[in-house]
Amino acid sequence: MPTERIALVTGANQGVGKQVAKELAEHGVTVLVGSRDLAKGEAAAAEIGSGAHAIQLDVTDPASIASAAGTIRERFGRLDLLVNNAGISNTLGAGLTPEQNAAQSTASQASLDEIRAVWEVNVFGVVAVYQAMLPLLRDGIDARIVNVSSGVGSLASNADPSFPYRAIFGPVYPASKAALNAMTLAMMIELEGTDIKVNLVSPGFTSTALNNFAGTESVEDGSREVVRVALFGPNDPTGTFTRWEDATIPW
């Protein structure tokens, strides 16, 4: 009998994270449904069903991260899969499409407070969770980290004038994903020579709260690449940056 796989998905109470948690659970993975609001995490875990367990986790709160790591150590003694999915596009309030968000957050107009707030979740939050969970991943079986980025953060794509999303590249959300990509590269390089694998993925343009449901893909379709990579086995690759299906995104 293979040992059950233990996974943590951050920001799994809704959207892409919840879909990933659901499909992991359907594949027999024990999933910790990370949620900054525990009640929302519990509701999502109950909806997903057996194999899903809520865990309070605000990626900007060191005490919350330490407590989650302690709980995972106590209950499972290890972590086999970490999906860094939690993310925000802005703090200006719900109801902004990417175009509206971009129009308010050009390099000359974006407030530094807004840049810091978004980077706090999308960049520093991921690094903080990585640092706290790495000892558990080192004790994991065929451990893997999947960081959820976005094609709009690709510096190589945005350097090309023909890239269709180039007009919305700005210092808040898109640059936060570029920074996340850089952090992911740092993790990959640090973990070369260990058994821990690291992958970077972009969902499709998915209808979620992040873009005020302007995304053109369903949560099921948009989350497909994240799910596919999160279900990778020990012989599957490390160091990739892909969108559905296995299409390489330039860094």
Q: Which residues contact 172 (CB under 8 A, 6 or more apart)?
A: 89, 90, 101, 105, 110, 114, 115, 118
Catalytic residue among 18, 22, 130, 177, which?
177
CA–CA distance, 162 with 164 (Å, rounded to integer) = 6
Closest distance of CB 207 from ligand NAP, Å: 7
Q: How far is CA 59 from CA 30, 37, 89, 114, in A?
A: 21, 12, 15, 17
CA–CA distance, 128 with 63 (Å, rounded to integer) = 11
Asked if residue 58 binds ligand NAP (CB under 6 A), the reply is: yes
Closest distance of CB 55 from ligand NAP, Å: 11
Which part of the chain contacts ligand NAP (CB under 6 A), choosing from 46-54, 73-81, 156-164, 209-217? 209-217
Closest CB to ligand NAP among residues 76, 244: 244
Asked if residue 67 binds ligand NAP (CB under 6 A), the reply is: no
CA–CA distance, 187 with 233 (Å, rounded to integer) = 19
- 23 CA to centre of own chain: 15
User: Would residue 177 show up in a list of annotated catalytic residues for this protein?
Assistant: yes
Asked if residue 147 binds ligand NAP (CB under 6 A), the reply is: no
Asked if residue 118 binds ligand NAP (CB under 6 A), the reply is: no
Angle at which helix 38-48 crosses helix 15-26, to 10 degrees, equals: 40
CA–CA distance, 95 with 98 (Å, rounded to integer) = 10
Catalytic residue among 18, 130, 173, 197, which?
173
Q: DSSP H helical segments within 27-110, as ranges?
A: 38-48, 62-75, 98-104
Specify the DSSP class assigned to residue 121.
Answer: I
Closest CB to ligand NAP among residues 195, 221: 221
Asked if residue 99 binds ligand NAP (CB under 6 A), the reply is: no
Asked if residue 238 binds ligand NAP (CB under 6 A), the reply is: no
- Residues in region 167-206 near ligand NAP by CB under 6 A: 202-203, 205-206
Question: Is-cis flag, bond preceding 4, omega within 30?
Answer: no
Closest distance of CB 1 from ligand NAP, Å: 33
Determine the residue with CB nearest ligand NAP.
15
User: Would residue 165 show up in a list of annotated catalytic residues for this protein?
Assistant: no
Closest distance of CB 171 from ligand NAP, Å: 15
> Which residues would be at the binding site for ligand NAP (CB under 6 A)?
10-11, 13-17, 36-37, 40, 57-60, 85-88, 121, 125, 148, 150, 202-203, 205-206, 208-211, 215, 222
